[in-house]
A and B are shown apart, each in its own frame.
Chain A
């Protein structure tokens, strides 16, 4: 389902994005990641984004093992997608209680084109887990150090994280091994 064109008076965004949700059911895993992934919708304007966002539970209110994914339209939130194959992600582990605020700041920076890395950004994920929550920002080219450094610096600036927060970069090919 492609995003509808921005309506009259709406504010278009640089790239259209799609919102996805996934939840792992407790117990034995009989379904693949692909099967747990639910497409929520695509948007092409700031107002369309908020129309989805305001109807969703905040990340901190989700139970169990849940993820929101916001990726550029046409990129599936998985390593195997062509846009992600040579890419990687910055991973930020958060103490419980701050995920909703940090996720919103991350998403707004991405939709507002604050990263200044051209078309390098693929998408963002918030992962709700039992002990901690995890933010990740995916980009196309893992070995482009200028881009990954710029993304890291922007993440630090926009997230306003506690000083002891650890940021880690992972290539998707390492994750596959």
Chain B
């Protein structure tokens, strides 16, 4: 299957997502 790869910048961006409680 496909590997799910994220870079640091993207992961840091998710920190501010409203989904992150």
Residues of A within 8 A of B (CB): 7, 9-14, 46-47, 50-51, 54, 105, 108-109, 111-114, 158
Bound Cα distance A51, B17 (Å): 10
Are B19 and A108 touching (Cβ within 8 A)?
Answer: no
Bound Cα distance A51, B21 (Å): 5
Residues of chain A within 8 A (CB-CB) of B21 are 47, 51
Interface of B is mostly: loop
Are B19 and A111 touching (Cβ within 8 A)?
Answer: no
Residues of chain A within 8 A (CB-CB) of B11 are 46, 108, 111-112
Bound Cα distance A14, B11 (Å): 13
Are A51 and B20 touching (Cβ within 8 A)?
Answer: yes
Chain A nearest CB: distance from B9 CB in Å?
Answer: 9
Are B4 and A113 touching (Cβ within 8 A)?
Answer: yes
Interface residues as binary, B1-21 with A (CB distance below 8 Å gives 1, 0 otherwise): 001111110111011010111
Residues of chain B within 8 A (CB-CB) of A50 are 14-15, 17, 20
Residue of B6, B8, B19 touching A10 (CB-CB under 8 A): B19
Tell me whether A108 and B12 are in contact in the complex, defined as CB-CB below 8 angstroms, given that A10-B19, A51-B21 are known contacts: yes
Pick the most buried of A9, A46, A111: most chain B CB atoms within 10 A of its CB.
A46
Residues of chain B within 8 A (CB-CB) of A47 are 14, 17, 19-21
Residues of chain A within 8 A (CB-CB) of B14 are 11, 46-47, 50
Bound Cα distance A108, B21 (Å): 18
Closest to B6 in A: A112
Are A46 and B8 touching (Cβ within 8 A)?
Answer: no
